[in-house]
Amino acid sequence: MLNPTKKDIRLESLEQLQEQFSNAGFPSYTAKQVYEWLWKKGVRSFDEMSNISKSIRVWLNEHFHLLTVEILTSQTSVDGTIKLAFKLHDGAVVEGVLIPSPNRMTACVSSQVGCSLSCTFCATGAMKRIRNLEPAEIYDQVWLIDQLAKTTYQMPLSNIVFMGMGEPLLNYSNVMEGIHKITSPEGLGMSASRITVSTAGIAKMIKKMGDDGVRFNLALSLHAANNEKRSKIMPINDSNPLEELIEALNYFYKKTKRKITLEYAVIQDTNDSIEEADELIKFAKRVPCKVNLIEYNPISISGFASSDPDKILKFADRVQSKGIIVNVRRSRGKDIDAACGQLANKH
């Protein structure tokens, strides 16, 4: 059990730490040094803070918790993708993925323990949402995957996608604060333009991101461009129908000037007909966007199957023929359940 008299040090701002250091009779500049150890250097314990005096480290241990995320298990795919199970301080587990390619290292991270959205084609959607991740737990996933990229592939992380477990926009303030720590000079200093937050589509929060002037990229998990079909596979569509999403995405673009990525997992006999390609074209024409067609990764509980590769190419050609930018994304890490929609704590 955690000692209730101790605070989680990574929930304290620099100003709060400076005040507490000052009240304890320590120079306030040491608070800045401690803050740097926490957010720039990602230390796992107070005792690693080598330029902090022993008396301050003892005081830190007496007054604060440093609740870090640990790697519980790691699996490597035949294609080099590495899936990680992260153990949180309360024993909960989330998953993250390192996806290597010749010119980029991408981290896929989680924002919640489980998910509340129940998308029928997604393994995480079959889990209950247990809790939101704290900003430090989001930061730790990125820090640990960055370390892994450097030691395994001798390359630092270049890109981050919030496409792991959970719906980022239902944990809005913690995700925003986590991204701030990852991108700010006081933190990891990574580029916001290399970060993509993926949402199943919560219109009012998409607008809020526009109002907040975010500097990262937005992806919408669309998967069907017809309300009736989309509601069948994504119940969130009942309360956030396509018309509202189009309005919210245009609002986001007007405020940020960042084009949206539409993600579309191509599922056999569900959303892969030419008629459905035409519905996607109609939607995409109303939003400044590009389209990622994703090879669907089957999960045992869904009964869905991946569309035939030829059918995916025909679908892509149809959409592209109308002047829409289309990328076909091949599956990575499928053999270790690390691919899109497969994260469900099987380790």
Q: In the sheet that 289-295 helps form, which strands lie side by side, from edge to edge?
A: 70-76, 82-87, 93-101, 104-108, 159-162, 195-199, 217-221, 260-266, 289-295, 326-329
The active-site residue, picked from 12, 95, 167, 295, is 95
pLDDT grade for 330, boundaries at 50, 70 and 90: confident
Please say if 115 is a catalytic residue: no
CATH code of 252's domain:
3.20.20.70
> CB count, 10 Å around CB of 53?
11
CATH code of 53's domain:
1.10.150.530
Instruction: Mark whether 89 and 11 lie in a shared domain.
Output: no
Instruction: Mark whether 59 and 77 lie in a shared domain.
Output: no
pLDDT digits (tens, 9 = 90+) for 19-45: 999 999 999 899 999 999 999 999 999
> Span 122-129, mean pLDDT?
67
Give pTM, 2 decimals: 0.92
> Span 235-241, mean pLDDT?
95
Q: Across the chain, what does the average pLDDT equal?
A: 92
> Span 149-156, mean pLDDT?
97
> Span 88-103, mean pLDDT?
95
Instruction: Mark whether 16 and 150 lie in a shared domain.
Output: no
Q: End of a domain among 65, 91, 107?
A: 65
Instruction: Mark whether 47 and 164 lie in a shared domain.
Output: no
> Span 235-255, mean pLDDT?
97
Instruction: Mark whether 92 and 224 lie in a shared domain.
Output: yes
> CB count, 10 Å around CB of 305?
12
Pull the structure tokens for residue 91: 């024993």
pLDDT digits (tens, 9 = 90+) for 292-313: 999 887 765 557 888 889 999 9
Separation between Cα atoms, residue 71 and residue 141, nearest integer Å: 9
Instruction: Mark whether 311 and 280 lie in a shared domain.
Output: yes
Domain range holding 225?
70-336
Question: Would you say how long the chain is, in residues?
Answer: 347
Instruction: Mark whether 294 and 221 lie in a shared domain.
Output: yes
Instruction: Mark whether 269 and 180 lie in a shared domain.
Output: yes
> Span 172-179, mean pLDDT?
98
Contacts of 113 (CB under 8 A, 6+ apart): 88, 92, 93, 94, 129, 130, 131, 132, 133, 165, 166
Instruction: Mark whether 243 and 219 lie in a shared domain.
Output: yes
Instruction: Mark whether 242 and 274 lie in a shared domain.
Output: yes
Task: Please check whether residue 346 lies inside any domain of the structure.
Answer: no
The pLDDT of residue 2 is above 80: no
**Phi, psi torsion values for 80, nearest 5 degrees:** 90, -10
Task: Please check whether residue 343 lies inside any domain of the structure.
Answer: no
Q: Distances in Å between the alpha carbon of 32 and those of 1, 22, 59, 133?
A: 29, 12, 16, 25
Number of domains in the chain: 2
Please say if 62 is a catalytic residue: no
Give the pLDDT score at 341.
Answer: 47
248 neighbors 204 (Cβ within 8 angstroms): yes
